Amino acid sequence: MSIRSEVITQINRVASEQDKRLAPLSDSLALLDSGLDSLCLAIVVARLEDELGIDPFSTAEEAGPPVTLGEFIRLYEDAAK
Amino acid sequence: MRNVLVTGGSRGLGLGIARKLAGAEYRVIALARKESEPLAAALREAETAHPGSLHFFACDLGQIEELGGIVKTLRKKFGPIYGLVNNAGMSFDGTLPLMPTAQIEQLVRVNTISPMVLTKYVVRHMMADGGGRIVNIASITGFTGYSGLSVYSATKAALIGFTRSLAREAGRMGVNVNAVAPGFVDTEMTQSLGEEGRERIVRRSALRRMAEVEDVANAVEFLLSCKSKNITGTVLTVDAGSTA
């Protein structure tokens, strides 16, 4: 499974568990408009760490938080390189 | 067995908490820089009485940038973490005007920043796993004054504020967050009080005695148990009535 599809899978899973209605997912979608709140995003990050073994938010040189879904996915793709 | 991390679990309060929880059907992982002789004895005892209930994990919690990796390693080795007891702390006794700035920074780093960052990495997995318990060991000095402990008191007051707000933040994800505020307990950390200081504390307490390590450990056990499922964002004072 690609990193992109794993991220999308986890977002859908958490939305379903937390009873959140997701906006149509696209790279330009702002995370804050996705239907997931910050706690749900924290769960997505924790699950992705388990699935991919990557946590781009724990590195010392982390940049500002990603604004869009595309930026969020890119963060994981870059960390996997 | 549910996994519980106890920071500073090699001596004093932390060791007492670790021993208590190991005897209460938890798998306790005591985090500390070195394995002390009392911890080694507790590990041997636990292995006989409740095999697998007490483990030691060596790490320096003052190395903030290492904490994410530590949590990852612990989860890989032991599985999901149910409870976190932020007990590790240090104290320098001394008046503020003479306290070296480096000591002030070290106190804030070890007593406040380290537990906050460790909690950050643990709580998000608790939320993802559907719940968990966090107990922060504060101190009565966080809400009552004691000369010579101004910076230490400030770090403990910070933990109380942290406890209340995190309880609000993580509550709907099933995570309870509470603090225990011990009074002066007879441990290595309070040795500097001297006999006279100890007598003064006893004289001023409602019960005319000092709280013991066992009392604090009982409070932590309660806050991790199902008996406290509807208690969150609170501070349980264990001080034999020093602040009554």
Give the model confidence (pLDDT) of A6-21 as tens digits: 999 999 999 999 999 9
Per-residue confidence at B32, pLDDT binned at 50, 70, 90?
very high
User: What stretch of H or E contains B175?
Assistant: strand B175-182
Nearest to B163 by CA among B144, B142, B177: B177
A55 to chain B: which residues are within 8 Å by CB? 68, 72
Burial category of A31 from C-beta neighbours within 10 Å (exposed 0-12, middle 13-18, buried 19 and up): buried
Entry pTM: 0.93
CATH number where A40 lies: 1.10.1200.10
CATH number of B2-238, picked from 3.30.300.30, 3.40.50.720, 3.40.710.10, 3.30.930.10? 3.40.50.720
Tell me the catalytic residues of B: 152
* Helical packing angle, A38-52 and A69-80, nearest 10°: 30
Cβ distance B127 to A42 less than 8 Å, yes or no, reads yes
Q: How far is A80 from chain B (nearest CA, A)?
A: 16
Number of independent structural domains in chain A = 1
Q: Choose the weakest-confidence range: A48-52, B67-71, B145-149, B232-236.
A: B145-149
Q: How far is A70 from chain B (nearest CA, A)?
A: 22
Cβ distance B124 to A60 less than 8 Å, yes or no, reads no
Residue of A nearest to B166 (CA): A39
